[in-house]
Structure 1
Amino acid sequence: MASVAKSPALCYLLFCASLVVHGCLGQMYPAQRRVSGESSCRLENLRPQEARRRVESEAGVSEFWDSRDQQFDCAGVAAVRNTIEPRGLMLPEFSNSPRLVYIVQGSGISGVVIPGCPETFQSMEHGQERRERREERHGERVSGDQHQKIRRFRQGDIIALPAGVAHWCYNNGDKPVIAVTVFDVANQANQLDRSPRRSFLAGQQRGGEEKGEESSGGGNVFRGFDDEILSEALGVRRDVVRKLKGEDDRRGTIIKVEKELHIAAPSREMEMEMEEDNGLEEALCNMRLVENIADPAKFDVYSPQGGHISTLNSQKLPILRFLRLSAEKGHLRRNAIVAPLWHINAHSVLYVIRGTGRVQISGAGEKLLFDGTVRRGQMLVVPQGHAVVKRAEEDEFEWVAFKTNDYAMVSPLAGKTSVLRGIPIDVLANSYRISEEEVRKIKFARDDETLFLRGRRASQ
């Protein structure tokens, strides 16, 4: 059960802040441009990447892709796949760069702590027994907890997380949660180098760390502080401080919760009602960070023979405007083709959810940067301005793509929306030294298809 408490002082604060809400968002999460940093972006050959390093925890595992590989370095991204077992809790942490998380499997709850927002959600006491155990402690009445908003997530959700914002998640379902995260380390919000870093507020990471890989070290943020200073700052005993540092904690960053967590989390219906309110508290402190892109009702392009694609950009999820990221979920039926196209204003990081696909990526008119198959669990970067074509193999092909622009755009080379459709016949005939009849076939042969092309062989 959850309730929202508002005091006169809080209402006044929200009213005053509403005058500068866009300024606040601009200060906290400005519409970030991407920076090249030290990357020379040398693209010679691309290849599908498996996760390179595996770190096990008590209740799950984290698998990291090599961010130093040329394609990830060029795109300015890093990636990790987390598997969280039932009743597994990923400890609170934050990153130096904005990120998008795609929930491949499972469901659960997560918390995002936004600086300056009040803890207006109240966890109520559960049952008569707990109510009877309320007591006076140090002159204060103990009755429940207060915390920031808890959000539910499920398979197909994209979760948007700004840089530097603390985040945790818990698997309250009956099967493992699999979550793939892409970090935009080239985003201007990252004031450090282009090495991905996560800083944990609790626990201790297992395994050694390698240069350039995602981490800020083996301990948590309390680890380096002096015991006496922390004891005084937090108002707790030194033995509690040592527990905060996690010096003897070998559980890793995903821990097992022995008893079910009792946390006030609103239903999805309540979340939607709260997000429809346009007040400051909803715009800033309860901003919408989660959107499902696997829902059939949200398909942007659908073909009964070809498949479907759903896109998520800053028009659908406004927080993406400040993160400068977007996403795409695609599904190809057997032997269907996604029309050859290039990304106008973004790199695209492709993660295969299911099946296998034949992918070709053209490199600056000279040669193919990639020509091969990609399969479940692999990643492949499609650089900005490089033409790509995808075809499902014997199985259906399903993917999610993370894009480095909040309103990523593509330009197809075939189908009804092809760039060739916008060029006069005479221009094309002279450009390619072919007849007008052949040009008409090129422009209009797929006139009944848009982005998805049926798997058919052209006559020789």
Structure 2
Amino acid sequence: MYLNTSAMVEQPQGRYPSQPRPLFPCFFPMVSSQTRRTSFVPTNTDLEPQFPEEDFRGEGGSSFSWKMNGSDVGASKMVLLPRGFPQPVFSNGPKMAFVLQGTGTAGIVVPNGNGVLNERVVRISEADVIAVPSGVVTWWFNDNSDTHLAIVFLGQQRLVNFYLAGPRGVFKGFSAEVVCTSLQLGEAVAALLDSQTTHGGIVKLGPELNMPQPNIINRDGLVFNSFTAVLGEGDSSGDAFFLNSTNLPLLNEVGSGSSIIQLGSGCIYPPTYACATKFQIILVFSGSGNVEVVGPNGDSIINAAVEKGHLFIVPDTSVLSATAGHIGLGWLSILNSPTPRFLTLAGRGSVLKSLSQAVVQAAFNVTTPMERKIRFPGQSH
């Protein structure tokens, strides 16, 4: 069974219309992890799907990062324990936040219509996507008493974070005169503030502190839930959705596009090329399966088993296909273009189906019956 991705070319905005999808056996085998680089891919780029490594652990949670050697991609994960709270932060580049697990509260400081900064407090849950432009301050809080909150941050560049407080807070580096004047504090108060920034980067808040309450209205245009998008209308083969500035306006400032794919059990994402983008950052957020990435010379670059939490990069010099395992496979793809196009090579709406009979016969050196099987797989001929 193939996922129909034809609408990814025809309708680049919003939900793709539900269409019948051809059914025929999934013949790609599941294989163990194997990655091979070729001459057109830099040898120092780490392409193999990988899990993140822990960088920091505090009383309120831990931070992780993916070590994508040879790449400028920024990818990190934050896991907050119950009542966990990292210091408010902004970054030197835009990023996408994806809630991998759990629920919680987030604050995003963005300008309103008059250009005045306004804190919007929102409820976040698994599969939420939030676009965070460069220089936008955010905070995150796990307000649950017994579950973890995991959030992944993906950027087109290696991100540098600036914390407003804590042991790495920016105010620690400034002189007492600057702190006192800019915050309008006395020297004694400023010294006390400096001494209180040594308790860790991710803290655990006590029950006596009442954090701001989220407002559901604040989610409009700021947060988008991908599960709602891909699980609402698709059939058993799966569904595809493209996230853009229509349903998430801040993507205009981030400069990224995003596709969300959910495959049903044993189904195939046909070989597809992402146009007008230098690379894709792919995060597996559900299920398991196998991914294959092939270069322009027909060389296999990646042939690897993947599962929830894996992240890998697909260069612009390659074509991607994936096969879902028995529990399905879902992934979020971040592209460095707000309006990417997708060229599907096989199946419904594909370029092979669009080519004339004689061209396909000549290209593959096959008979008419075989040509029909190539252009219209799964149909009786």
1:345-389 CA deviation, whole Å, 9 max, x = no partner?
232211222332111100122411111211222211112241111
The equivalent of 2:281 in structure 1 is 349
Aligned counterpart for 2:239 among listed residues 297, 302, 308: 308
Q: Is the counterpart of residue 197 in structure 1 residue 160 in structure 2?
A: yes
Contact kept in structure 1, 2:121 and 2:218, CA below 8 Å: no
| Residue 186 (structure 2) aligned to one of 233, 237, 245 | 237
Matched, 1:317 2:248: yes
Query: 1:197, CA displacement in angstroms?
Result: 0.5
CA distance in 2, matches of 1:60, 1:323: 27
Structure-2 separation of matches of 1:248 and 1:201: 10
- Higher strand proportion (structure 1 or 2): 2
Aligned to 1:100: 96
Give the deviation of 1:181 after TM superposition.
0.8
SS in 2 for 1:80: strand
> 1:267 aligned to 2:215?
yes
Q: Match of 2:344, as an amino acid?
A: P
What residue number does 1:161 align with? Answer: 132
Q: Per the alignment, do residues 233 and 54 of structure 1 end up closer, same or farther by CA in structure 2, a change over 3 Å counting?
A: closer
Distance in 2 separating the partners of 1:309 and 1:94: 31
Task: Please tell me whether residue 52 in structure 1 is matched to residue 48 in structure 2.
Answer: no
Distance of 1:411 and 1:100 partners within structure 2: 24
TM-score (norm 1): 0.67
Aligned pairs (5 A) from 1:41-440: 42=42, 46-67=47-68, 69-70=69-70, 73=71, 76-114=72-110, 117-118=115-116, 148-174=119-145, 175-185=147-157, 195-204=158-167, 219-245=168-194, 249-252=198-201, 254-259=202-207, 261-268=209-216, 270-271=217-218, 275=220, 288-295=221-228, 299=231, 302-304=234-236, 306-346=237-277, 347-440=279-372
8 Å Cα contact 2:105/2:214 also seen in 1: no
Identity level (%): 25
Higher relative CO (Cα under 8 Å, sequence separation at least 6) belongs to 2
- 1:49-70, CA deviations, whole angstroms, 9 ceiling, x for partnerless residues? 2213421122010001124x13
Taking structure 1 as reference, are residues 63 and 261 closer, same or farther at Cα in structure 2, changes over 3 Å only?
same
Compared with structure 1, are the counterparts of its residues 440 and 41 closer, same or farther at alpha carbon in structure 2 (3 Å cutoff)? Answer: closer
Which amino acid in structure 1 is aligned with residue 57 of structure 2? E
Contact 2:373–2:379, Cα closer than 8 Å, also in 1: no
Shift of 1:196: 2.1
Spell out, residue by residue over 1:109-153, the C-alpha distance to the aligned partner (whole angstroms, 9 max, x if none): 22222367446xxxxxxxxxxxxxxxxxxxxxxxxxxx6222221
For structure 1, which runs of at least 5 residues remain unmatched after alignment?
A: 1-39, 120-146, 186-194, 205-218, 276-287, 449-460
In structure 2, do the counterparts of structure 1 residues 307 and 261 end up closer, same or farther at CA, with 3 Å as the change threshold?
farther
Over 3 Å counting, the alpha-carbon distance change for 1:328 and 1:439 in structure 2 is same
| 1:81 Cα deviation after fit | 0.7
Q: Which runs of 5+ in 2 are unaligned?
A: 1-39
Distance in 1 of aligned mates of 2:234 and 2:282 = 20
1:223 CA drift (Å): 1.4
Superposition TM-score, scaled by structure 2 size: 0.80
Distance 1:264 1:58, change over 3 A: closer
Aligned alpha-carbon RMSD (Å):
2.5
What letter corresponds to residue 330 of structure 1 in structure 2? I
Shift of 1:41: 6.3
Q: How far apart, in 2, do the equivalents of 1:246 and 1:41 lie?
A: 49
Compared CA separation, residues 232 and 292, structure 1 to 2 (3 A): same
In 2: Cα distance, 1:118 partner to 1:335 partner: 50
Change (3 A) 1:266 1:229: closer
Task: Report the alpha carbon displacement of residue 263 of structure 1 after superposing the two structures with TM.
Answer: 4.6
Return the alpha-carbon distance in structure 1 between the equivalents of residues 175 and 64 of structure 2: 33
What does the per-residue CA deviation read over 1:291-344, in whole Å, with 9 as the maximum and x for residues that have no partner? 111115x5587232x222333122322221221112233322222111111111
> CA separation of 1:156/1:409 partners in 2, compared to 1, >3 Å: closer, same or farther?
same
1:251 positional shift: 2.0
Q: CA deviation at 1:446?
A: 4.1
**Compared with structure 1, are the counterparts of its residues 45 and 291 closer, same or farther at alpha carbon in structure 2 (3 Å cutoff)?**
closer
CA contact (8 A) 2:54 2:62 kept: no
Give the match for residue 207 of structure 1.
Answer: none
